[in-house]
């Protein structure tokens, strides 16, 4: 097999592994979140399906795949169908330039656990992640539901506002490193704890993590689907697998952001 063919096979395998692992982690993340929230609220959380409720993730997956897929009569159907795909696709594409592990050898072959080593890695992640705004926005606008419309409008306002903070907070560490490559950013900090960018730019770190919470739609910044006011916000009319794709995208974004945060 030529080097070119080997690189294609390796890249395809890396893509499949990332999709499978982070899709599974997204499901397991919902289990952990429900357990922790149950502990906060003096409840047990999932505990019936399997030991400690661990098989609840599998049960939820089966339910999402088999649940009736309802499209509202007044919805703009093509856009209504495409919106959940955008949420999942942008989240997974943003993982392409992230180095998950150092290089290692397997059966004499060097494995690089990164899908695409591009010299503008962080810019690519931010650009693709920014496209995720179209998922709640288009989902809310196309649903034919006033709560969804309000959720979509909040999405545009919230994401656009904090995208500015995200970009500006990254300028300071990037100016120190002098590169947009995530591998270069990681290598810059290899000298020890005193070289970590969090100690050199603590204010930028604080701003970035707050902006990340907002863009990930996590409490207390969950204005897109604030159940107390908007039922389920932009996702009010979604059910089954389409609803699940929104949340696979949300949790995949959380993992991608966690990797970016730890690298920078």
Cα–Cα distance, 187 to 177 (Å, whole number): 9
Tell me the average pLDDT across 132-159. Answer: 84
> Which of the 8 DSSP states describes residue 239?
-
Residue 68 confidence (pLDDT): 82
The pLDDT-based confidence of 103 (bands split at 50, 70, 90) is confident
Identify whether the C-beta of residue 235 lies closer than 8 Å to the C-beta of residue 183.
Answer: no
Residue 203 confidence (pLDDT): 93
Tell me the average pLDDT across 244-262. Answer: 86
* DSSP sequence for 6-18: HHHHHHHHHHHHH
| Percent of the chain residues past pLDDT 70, beyond the cut | 93
The long-range contacts involving 240-243, CB below 8 angstroms and separated by at least 24 positions, are: 240/64, 240/65, 240/67, 240/68, 240/69, 240/70, 241/64, 241/65, 241/67, 241/69, 241/84, 242/69, 242/81, 242/84, 243/64, 243/84
Structure token pair of residue 197: 């960018």
Tell me the average pLDDT across 84-92. Answer: 88
Residue 226 confidence (pLDDT): 63
Angle at 143 between CA 140 and CA 145, to 5 degrees: 90
> pTM value?
0.81
Cα–Cα distance, 67 to 243 (Å, whole number): 10
Q: What is the pLDDT of residues 168-196, one digit of tens each?
A: 899 889 999 888 888 888 888 888 888 89
The pLDDT-based confidence of 22 (bands split at 50, 70, 90) is confident
Give the 3-state secondary structure of residue 46: coil
Residue 224 confidence (pLDDT): 63
Q: What is the pLDDT of residues 47-87, one digit of tens each?
A: 888 888 888 888 888 888 888 888 888 888 898 889 888 98
Between 141 and 110, whose confidence is greater?
A: 141
Tell me the average pLDDT across 121-143. Answer: 86
Angle between helices 240-263 and 3-40 (to 10 degrees): 100
Closest CA to 26 of 256, 260, 232, 235: 256
Between 78 and 225, whose confidence is greater?
A: 78
Angstrom CA distances, 101 to 8, 19, 30, 262, stand at 19, 16, 25, 12
Mean pLDDT of the chain: 83
Tell me the average pLDDT across 113-137. Answer: 84
Q: Give the phi and the psi of residue 109 in degrees, each rounded to 5.
A: -110, 130
| Percent of the chain residues past pLDDT 90, beyond the cut | 2
Give the lowest-confidence range in 106-110, 113-117, 205-209: 106-110
């Amino acid at each position: 097999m030529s080097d070119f063919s080997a690189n294609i096979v390796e890249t395809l395998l890396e893509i499949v592994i990332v999709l499978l692992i982070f899709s599974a982690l997204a499901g397991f993340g919902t289990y952990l979140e429900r357990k922790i929230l149950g502990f906060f609220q003096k409840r047990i959380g999932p505990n019936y399906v399997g030991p400690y409720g661990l098989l609840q993730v599998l049960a939820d997956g089966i339910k999402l795949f088999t649940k009736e897929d309802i499209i509202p009569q007044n919805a703009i159907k093509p856009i209504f169908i495409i919106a959940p795909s955008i949420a999942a696709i942008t989240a997974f594409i943003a993982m392409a330039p992230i180095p998950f592990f150092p290089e290692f050898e397997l059966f004499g072959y060097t494995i690089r656990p990164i899908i695409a080593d591009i010299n503008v890695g962080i810019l690519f992640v931010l650009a693709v992640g920014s496209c995720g705004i179209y998922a709640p926005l288009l989902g809310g606008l196309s649903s034919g539901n006033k709560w969804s419309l309000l959720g979509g409008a909040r999405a545009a306002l919230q994401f656009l506002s904090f995208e500015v903070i995200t970009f500006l907070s990254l300028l300071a560490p990037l100016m120190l490193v002098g590169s947009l490559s995530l591998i270069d950013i990681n290598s810059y900090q290899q000298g020890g704890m005193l070289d970590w960018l969090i100690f050199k730019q603590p204010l930028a770190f604080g701003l970035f993590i707050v902006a990340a919470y907002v863009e990930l739609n996590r409490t207390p910044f969950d204005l897109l689907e604030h159940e107390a006011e908007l039922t389920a916000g932009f996702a009010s009319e979604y059910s089954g697998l389409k609803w699940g794709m929104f949340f696979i995208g949300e949790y995949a974004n959380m993992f991608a952001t966690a990797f970016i945060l730890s690298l920078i």
